[in-house]
Chain A
Amino acid sequence: MNKIKKWLLSISPSLIAILSGVFAGFIIMLISNPANAFSGLIVILKGGWNSGMKGVGQVLYFATPIILTGLSVGFAFKTGMFNIGASGQLVVGALASIYVGINWTFLPGHLHWIVAMLMGTLAGMVWGMLVGLLKAYRNVNEVISAIMLNYIGMYGVNYLIKSSNSMYDILRNQTANVAASAAIPKAGLDNIFYNLIGKFKDVSSVNAGIIIAVVVAIIIHILLNRTTFGYELKACGHNRYASQYAGVNENRAIILSMAIAGALSGMAGALMFLAPPSGMHIHVQEVLAPQGFNGIAVALLGLSHPIGIIFAALFIAHITVGGGYLQSLRYMREIIDIIIGLIIYFSAFSLLMRNIVLRATRKRKQYAGEEEAGV
């Protein structure tokens, strides 16, 4: 009983943040298309349910990469670092997995997609680790190096795609299709998430990626809360002096935690793009992957808690999919993007504001003298 109360209390800030986000979105809808605002709100809130089981499957599909980028940001955050580099790590991971997915066709059966996914994860890991190394040995602020690596990653990937024969689909200006054996399997999910149109099975894009993401979240949860490694990372995150005093190797903790954060984002990239021909491809354009930044919102809403992050990602995917159906109410594409973006970021920022206010009041309480942290 007490446990439930505590739990409710701990997630209530996220719920309040979401409500205020939805409210802010509603205001924009009232402004842009007042007649349909209310029914529009219903559409958004219905999310995937607007189109039955397929829609629900789409929610899971969109949730997959942002669970992982959310974990990436949240994990780094637990260890005291702000990983704004998820975008770059994601795209680098995506390219590595696509490369393997297209070229390493000698890999038999399931091994192909698994290796492709792991190579993507590894590439993201290297990209994240660079940030950690720079911070540990050169004391470079992780935000600055991560932002730079986002752009280096994006332009570098574009360059590599264009200069590659095998990977470039010049007509569509995007990456070529990966081999069928490199696509993440459906794992039976296509038998659950589909709509019947007459005899035709309209199948959702969801695949085993969502299962992998959830399992990874649970592993990260265990890593953080049950292992000595997690203990060290959290100690560093909360108070680096105390962790020094305890004999924790701080540089190692910084490097490893950024490496893991990078690996999570890299895996997000792999799961997104290891898709059948009808699925996603990297477009050669000068845009940072939005999933990376959505990861920040997800981590904030999920309070950096791995399980919370799963639900936060599901919520954001739900709203995003719901927004897609707004077009039927004659909302313009751009307005929809604004509304959805507003809901997501307003939620995240209202939570951020709340944390700042809380911290400020706690500071005030610390002013009582007994509780000042060694800042």
Chain B
Amino acid sequence: MATTNSRTLARLMLLPSVILLLAWMIVPLCMTLYFSFIDYNLLVPGEKEFVGFLNYEFFLTDPAFFESFFNTLYLVTGVLLITICGGIGLAILLDQAIWGRNYVRIMVLAPFFVMPTVSALVWKNMLMNPVNGLFAHFAIWLGFEPIDFFAQIPLLSIIIIVSWQWLPFAALILLTAIQSLDREQLEAADLDGAGPFSKFFYIVLPHLSRAVTAVILIETIFLLSIFAEILVTTSGGPGYSSTNITYLIYTQSLLQFDVGGGSAGGIVAVIIANIVAIFLMRLIGKNLEG
């Protein structure tokens, strides 16, 4: 694609898909923007009048907003922390020449294929249930009081479930990154007298920085909009202690059939996501440069 001709042609050929993608994004965004400025409740038929920023005011001044804002942050950072640290550990283990490692690798990937609702249900009913759950049995066997996960540590429980789902993704990306590390660098470090820790911190970890950045960016996009796991397990409770922004929009608006309020919440969520994205790109985006 060197000549001016071929470049123009390439742009022309790309145009339809670019237009389609733009429309796909712009149309719903504009509609949401429009709805967020009118008083539109499905239970109240009649005139939909323009109310200015009233919907936003309701959403942002709701005390639940701040709680769920911070819950969202805890959820995202908690899961990122667990999946990155666990993912690096798992990747290093999977990189070892263990027997049958191809099968182990496929099995490690399995949780990623389980639908969020299903995995949340499995965790809720089979593992974390305070009466029948595996953890409860285990606690009793050890002579402890079983933890009622979703009542006592609701947000942490959700972090654990989501981390379980995303750990394979992180591990897999990091594993491919580890495998691309030049073995001679490690051998040179061996000769230079570096122990396992020096080798990890000075050679492996810097080599992984790019992959870690990619994992953080990709996961953050998805983790900001966690929904199914909350709906299936805690329904955002007790109180608002496990409600994130996405779930708050759902409860505040859709459960009350308030399209206007919901749209305002949606726009707020978009703005928050963009702030997070800009913040992340500033912070770690330079790692992605060649």
The judgment on whether A and B are partners is no
- Report B's interface with A, CB cutoff 8 A: none
